[in-house]
């Protein structure tokens, strides 16, 4: 569900992200090169990192590998992967962020080119990388 809170902010470098009014705890941050290298080195969908953290190689992560990390609409480029969670008791989730001109983090999302609500398929051919603000404006339009 998209809300008016399109931007995520890093607050005073406390490694706390605010996303859609929810606090997200940063477990770790990684460069895109580092994550892509780890993915290419295995066929497993559970990726183990040298620091002991792990993440699931989802189709969303695979989209950024296959189609790049730039928003197809505005061109902002996802440059940092953040392993984060709302609840430290739960396994963290790997999200890709771009950093905008104000230094604010912008979440990169998986856009359905042909919207799911209009019969668009849930497969790679129908996905594009898109930042959350652009995806929010696009909504259900093709
Ligand atoms: Zn965009």
Quote the DSSP letter at residue 22. Answer: E
Q: Where are the alpha helices (DSSP H) in 4-111?
A: 32-40, 59-67
Domain residue spans of the chain: 7-138
Is residue 32 within 8 Å of residue 69, measured between CB atoms? yes
Q: Quote the ligand 1 centre to 14 CA distance (angstroms).
A: 26
Q: What is the pTM of this model?
A: 0.82
Q: Quote the ligand 1 centre to 110 CA distance (angstroms).
A: 11
Per-residue pLDDT tens digits of the chain, which is 142 residues long: 333 333 344 443 344 455 555 677 888 889 999 999 999 888 888 999 999 999 999 999 999 999 999 999 999 999 999 998 877 788 888 999 999 898 888 999 999 999 988 999 999 999 999 999 999 898 767 6
Q: Quote the ligand 1 centre to 106 CA distance (angstroms).
A: 9
> Which tokens belong to 58?
């989802």
Q: Quote the ligand 1 centre to 43 CA distance (angstroms).
A: 30
Q: Quote the ligand 1 centre to 119 CA distance (angstroms).
A: 23
């Amino acid at each position: 569900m998209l809300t008016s809170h399109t931007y995520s902010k890093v607050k005073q470098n406390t490694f706390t992200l605010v996303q859609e009014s929810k606090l997200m705890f940063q477990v770790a941050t990684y460069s895109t090169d580092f994550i892509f290298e780890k993915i290419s080195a295995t066929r497993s969908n559970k990726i183990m990192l040298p620091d002991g953290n792990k993440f699931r190689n989802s189709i969303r992560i695979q989209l950024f590998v296959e189609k790049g990390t730039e928003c197809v609409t505005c061109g902002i480029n996802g440059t940092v992967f953040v392993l984060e969670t709302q609840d430290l008791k739960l396994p963290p989730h790997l999200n890709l962020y771009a950093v905008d001109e104000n230094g604010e983090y912008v979440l990169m999302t998986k856009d359905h080119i042909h919207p799911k609500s209009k019969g668009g398929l849930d497969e790679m051919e129908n996905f594009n990388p898109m930042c959350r603000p652009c995806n929010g404006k696009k909504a259900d339009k093709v």
